[in-house]
Structure formats: structure tokens, C-alpha cells
Amino acid sequence: MLDLRRIRTEPEAVIAALDRRGPGTSDPVKRVIELDAAHRRVGAERDEVRGRIKSLSKEVGRLRGQGRTDEAEALMAESRALGEREKELAAEADRLAEEIRSTLLVVPNTPSDDAPDGAGDADNVVLRTEGYDPDAYGPHQRVPHWEIGEQLGLFDFERAAKISGSMFVMYRGWGARLLRAMVQLSLDRNADAYVEVRPPTLVRTETMVSTGHLPKFADDAYHVERDDLWAIPTAEVPLTSLHRDEILDAGDLPLRYCAYTSCYRREAGAAGKDTRGLLRAHEFDKVELLAVAADAEQAIACQEDVLARSEGLLRDLGLAYRVVDLCAGDLGASAARTWDLEAYAPGVDQWLEVSSVSWFGDYQARRANIRVRPAPEVGPDGTATRPKGTVVAHTVNGSAMGWPRTVAAYLETHRQPDGSVAVVEALRPYLGGAVAITPP
């Protein structure tokens, strides 16, 4: 969430930054400013009443010591009345504080100054395109992946629907092996710097709140109401909470984690939109990279590292791709800046988002209460002194990769004239040395 102190000291700047996301985005912050002013007024009056009660208590003791009982009783009656008023003010202060917090929880992050201006995806900026030549694709590659999958026996959409309903996918045979191979390739490619974690895929409400997925995106999430657990929409959710309510030493940062999980999304607004084949599903596999950094400079370096690693994986898979800088109006609610990777799928003639690499500033870490103890500062005399207090950490995450669309782009790109699908060199060790996927 946004820093309340920043809202107090720089209200115009915060409002202007949020309005880059779209008209009305800053309205909740304007409400927070009103609530905060009221909270401070009530708090000041409560503290004044408390001070008066303490003063009366001392005076009552003095009067009783002097035998002036009647005067002491009168002051005690005044003190009791003030005590009731203090309770009312304390309750009002608590109510206002809770309303401030609940309002802040739905306020999105302020975009980075470096994020381009724009109202939606049409205003996103393509930073570069790699390996794409529109004239290089033959007719055999202009076949959608669901037809390729049917010909090669890679998927069983009908039985997936029978088992779980629409927008679920069943991989089978070489399809299941290809998916597993891609996952393992991604994990191996990042094992040099990222600690692999296999987190739970059902998490508590506060874990979803920490990343900003709740309360804003409750309608898109699967909720197990009996246990108040949520199926994760991405491994970013549990990874961000690994260090929730912890204080980390700056010298130990950045901390980097990698996780392969299933992910679950209702895709409530996706009915009838790109739902065929692998393009949009309620359950999908993804490998996620996450970093916890000490400050903005370190976090941006981590974001660049995640992007480079995700690009390297697309190159290993022989896919054309482009890097897209999301404009302020298209950023996810928690992100300050996001670079999307889109792979080209010739069979559907679309650029498919396969990875989002986001820097969140201190927005998520403030929700998760992840703080950093600054590194010692060395003075002119060589003495090291640790600064007092702590600061809020920064977080970064990115997909490496979101596999359904990556599989779709791969099958369409590497389809051969005879209907088989070539296996790129990077995947062969994971597929028993196979050089092609052929009909069963």
C-alpha cells in the first residue's frame, strides 16, 4: 500500500501520479486525506482528555491526603465523565484508522516516473522485437496449436471439460512431457542465483492481501470458504510472504527465489475472449522469479536481471518475442513499472504475453511488513555505525515462464511441413534426446 506519511506530506504529487492511471483513480486517496485529518483531530482530543484524567488523578490523591474528601469526590466524578469521553474518542480513532487502512488497501501503486503515459494497452511501448520476420513463416506454421495438438495427441480438451468444466486443459503424452521439459529447463536456467522453493498453493487471506491481490481481485480468485484459504493466482503470492513481518539485514539483500506451481484464476471477465486452446485457462503452470531488495536501485537491477533471464529462455526455445513497456493506464494495481514479454505465435497470428516482469517499489513490502535494517555506515575515522530504525523493502517478480501460451507459441513456431514439431536443442536432454514430436 502507499505510505500514509507520503500522502500527508506530498498529497498533490501522489494524486497526480495516481491520475496517470486514469481519471478517478486518486479519489480514494482524497478520501484518505480527509479521514487522516479527522483521525488526527480525534487522536489529539483523546490525548488531551487522557492528560486531563491523569492530572485529575494526581489532584484527587493530593486532596484526599489533605482530608478534603468532598472536593476529591467532585474531581473523581469529573474524571469518570472524562473517562467515558476518552472511550468514545478511542473507539472513533480506531474506526477511522480501520477505514483509512481499508481504503488504502484498494488504492493502486503510483506508477514509476519511467513508465510511459497512456490509458490502456494500445498505448504500451514496444521497446524491441527479437527474431521476428513476418515473411519467414510457412503455411505449415500458420496452424493453430489446438489443431497441432489434436494431430499429435498432445491435449485432451474434451475430457478436461468433462472432469473440471470449460477453460481447463489436460496435457497428455508428448504434450505433458513437453510441458514438464520446459518447466525443468526454466528451473535449471535460474538455479545459479535463485533459491528454488515449492510453496503451498492454498494460502491465507493475509497472504493474498500482501501482494495486492485482495481485496481488489477477489472475484478473479478461487476461495475455499470453509477454511478461508485461497488458491494462488501466481507463486508471487506465497513467495512475497516468505519474509512477511520480518526485518532483514541490508547486507543479505537481495534475496532471490524461484518457484514452479500451478496457478488458478477464474478469469471472470474473459468469457468468449481468446478462450480456445491454451490461450486462457483457469489452471496453468508457471515458473516465477522473485527478489526482495533493499532499495529502488537494487530492485531495478533485479528487475533487469529477471527480464534478461526470461529473454534468454525465449531465445533458448527459438521463439520470436518482443519487450513491451506497459503504460501507466495498463499497469497492474501493485506495479510501479512492468515489462511484458510477448512471444509470437504464427498459427493464431498473435503476440502472446508469456511473462510480466514488475517492480513494485515498497508497495507490496509495506502491505507484508517486510522491513530492512540499513547497512552500517563507515565514518571518517573508520568507525562503522548502523543507522537507527528500518526502512521498507522493495520487491520484484517475473514469470519465467507462463507455460500455456509459451507451449502454444512453441508448437506453432516449430511445426514442420510433415506435421511434426521440432525439439530445440535446449529441450532435448529433458526429452530423452528426441529431435521431433511426431504423430502417435
Where a domain ends, among 73, 104, 135?
Answer: 104
400 and 348 fall within a common domain:
yes
Integer angstrom CA distances of residue 403 from 26, 281, 396: 35, 11, 20
Secondary structure string (H, E, C) spanning 165-223: CCCCCCECCHHHHHHHHHHHHHHHHHCCCCEEECCCCEEEHHHHHHHCCCCCCHHHCEE
Where a domain ends, among 104, 129, 159?
Answer: 104
224 and 149 fall within a common domain:
yes
Q: Does residue 372 lie in a domain region?
A: yes
pLDDT at 270: 54
Q: Work out the end-to-end distance of the chain between its first and last CA atoms, rounded to an integer number of angstroms.
A: 52
pLDDT at 330: 98
Residues of the chain predicted below pLDDT 50 = none
Residue 93 to residue 43: CA distance in whole angstroms: 6
Question: Can you name the residues that pair with 437 across neighbouring β-strands?
Answer: 421
* Domain total of the chain: 2
Q: What would the pLDDT profile of 190-233 be if each residue is shown by its tens digit?
A: 999 999 999 999 999 999 999 999 998 899 999 999 999 999 99
80 and 131 fall within a common domain:
no
195 and 278 fall within a common domain:
yes
* Cα Dmax for the chain: 109
207 and 97 fall within a common domain:
no
Q: Does residue 111 lie in a domain region?
A: no
Name the grid cell of 202: 492454498
Q: Does residue 68 lie in a domain region?
A: yes
Handedness of CA 309, 315, 317, 322 (dihedral sign): positive
* Amino acid identity, position 90: A
State the pairing for strand pair 202-204/377-378.
unpaired
Q: Does residue 156 lie in a domain region?
A: yes
82 and 138 fall within a common domain:
no
21 and 162 fall within a common domain:
no
pLDDT at 18: 98
Domain carrying residue 42: 4-104
List all residues 6 or more positions away from 202 whose beta carbon is below 8 Å from its beta carbon: 224, 227, 229, 230, 231, 232
pLDDT at 72: 83
Query: 394 with 296: CB under 8 angstroms?
Result: yes
pLDDT at 375: 85
127 and 88 fall within a common domain:
no
Contacts 24+ apart (CB under 8 A), 164-168: 164/282, 164/283, 165/282, 166/275, 167/267, 167/270, 167/275, 167/280, 167/281, 167/282, 168/281, 168/282, 168/283
* Amino acid identity, position 70: D
Where a domain ends, among 104, 130, 158?
Answer: 104
| Polymer length of the chain | 440
pLDDT at 126: 98
* Amino acid identity, position 73: E
264 and 314 fall within a common domain:
yes
Q: Does residue 57 lie in a domain region?
A: yes
100 and 242 fall within a common domain:
no
- The label of the residue with cell 465523565 reads 81
Q: Does residue 183 lie in a domain region?
A: yes
98 and 184 fall within a common domain:
no
Grouping H, G, I as helix, E, B as strand and the rest as coil, residue 203 is strand
Domain with 74 in it: what CATH number?
A: 1.10.287.40
State the pairing for strand pair 371-373/391-392.
antiparallel
48 and 187 fall within a common domain:
no
pLDDT at 271: 55
Domain with 333 in it: what CATH number?
A: 3.30.930.10
Of 420, 240, 399, 224, which Cα lies nearest the Cα of 321? 399
Q: Does residue 405 lie in a domain region?
A: yes
Q: Does residue 115 lie in a domain region?
A: no
Q: What would the pLDDT profile of 84-121 be if each residue is shown by its tens digit?
A: 999 999 999 999 999 999 999 999 999 999 999 999 99
